[in-house]
Amino acid sequence: MHRTRYNALRLTLAISPRGPLLVKAGGISANPSLPDMQFVRTYRADVGETVYIPGSSLKGVVRGFVEKALRTLDDQNTWRWACPTFPDEQQSCAKRLEKEENSATVYRRSCGACRIFGHTRLRGRAAFTDLFPIGDVTTEIRYGVAISRLTHAVAHGPFEMEVAVAGIFEGHLVLENYEIWQLGLLASALEAMNQGLVKVGFGKNRGFGEVEVTVKKARVDEVSGDYAPTTLRGLSAFAHKDQEAYGLFPPDDLRDLPEPTDEVNLGIYTRRIYDSEGWQAIAQKAIAILSAQ
């Protein structure tokens, strides 16, 4: 099943800081004009050096939220939904399945979080691209100090922090061969970011990292067939014969969705495009089915 491509979702994300946002660069820059803690930068041929949000930073906070949500469902014995916070060598999915050769067994016996994000024996379903500025991003310098817990005096500092306070970063979230419940969890994580429950970058306890996430466009590719354009199908709808072997969960699809803004026949696949409102309708239905799992 993993050698085929049944469905894929590509979300175009726009992230804007609601307050100070700092994704720290590793190490110390050779540029003496940059502050002690500078925003991570990269070089692009069209704009030169620019700040950006690495996809790995976004994936990390989304995975953290998903694991916390799934871990509340576990009975603390089977770790069916999420690996333990501090796993010993036998409890993590990667360790338990390191000698398993059958791909169906690896997927079936992996916890819910690892089914989405993967481990050393299983490729993840979700991928995040880097998010680059659209237009200008406004940054400013904030100052901080480290306080000694013993003397309650300044132990280190002051130090400078470069934070983004305005602007838009745009990138993509791609979900391939997904089950409907996986779609619901990722939609729930994006909604939690909008509510301020999930923050990005450095200084979350300092008030940094609160962002607004907007899904500008959703693109869905599915294997072509005689399907209603208002229905979105999960992996189990295409892989009925593998459902038991891989341990796929219901439901098979989401129905009564809004009409796509565009539909293109790609031969093997049918591509449907949804605007922001269309995605919100999909997300609400996908989140609602989580209570039935």
| Residue-by-residue pLDDT tens, the chain, 293 positions | 778 999 999 999 999 999 999 998 876 655 666 777 889 999 988 888 899 999 999 999 999 999 988 888 765 555 578 887 665 655 788 888 888 889 999 999 999 999 999 998 899 999 999 999 999 999 999 887 777 677 776 767 678 889 999 999 999 999 999 999 999 999 999 999 999 999 999 989 888 999 999 999 999 999 998 888 899 999 999 988 889 999 999 899 999 999 999 999 999 999 999 999 999 999 999 999 887 65
Asked if residue 2 is part of any domain, the answer here is no
Cα–Cα dist 261/282, whole Å: 14
Q: What's the confidence (pLDDT) of residue 48?
A: 87
Asked if residue 93 is part of any domain, the answer here is yes
Report yes or no: 22 and 208 within 8 Å, Cβ to Cβ.
yes
Choose among 166, 281, 179: nearest CA to 235. Answer: 179
Cα–Cα dist 22/59, whole Å: 16
Structural domain tally of the chain? 1
Cα–Cα dist 12/19, whole Å: 22
Asked if residue 160 is part of any domain, the answer here is yes
Asked if residue 1 is part of any domain, the answer here is no
Given the structure tokens 């031969």, which residue do they identify? 267
Asked if residue 37 is part of any domain, the answer here is yes
Neighbours of 51 (CB within 10 A): 21
Collapsing DSSP states into helix, strand and coil, what is residue 242? helix
Collapsing DSSP states into helix, strand and coil, what is residue 183? helix
Choose among 145, 136, 113: nearest CA to 126. Answer: 113
Which residues sit opposite 214 in a β-bridge?
Answer: 14
Asked if residue 43 is part of any domain, the answer here is yes
Choose among 282, 8, 283: nearest CA to 172. Answer: 8
Asked if residue 275 is part of any domain, the answer here is yes
pTM exceeds 0.85: yes
Residue 114: which domain range?
A: 7-292
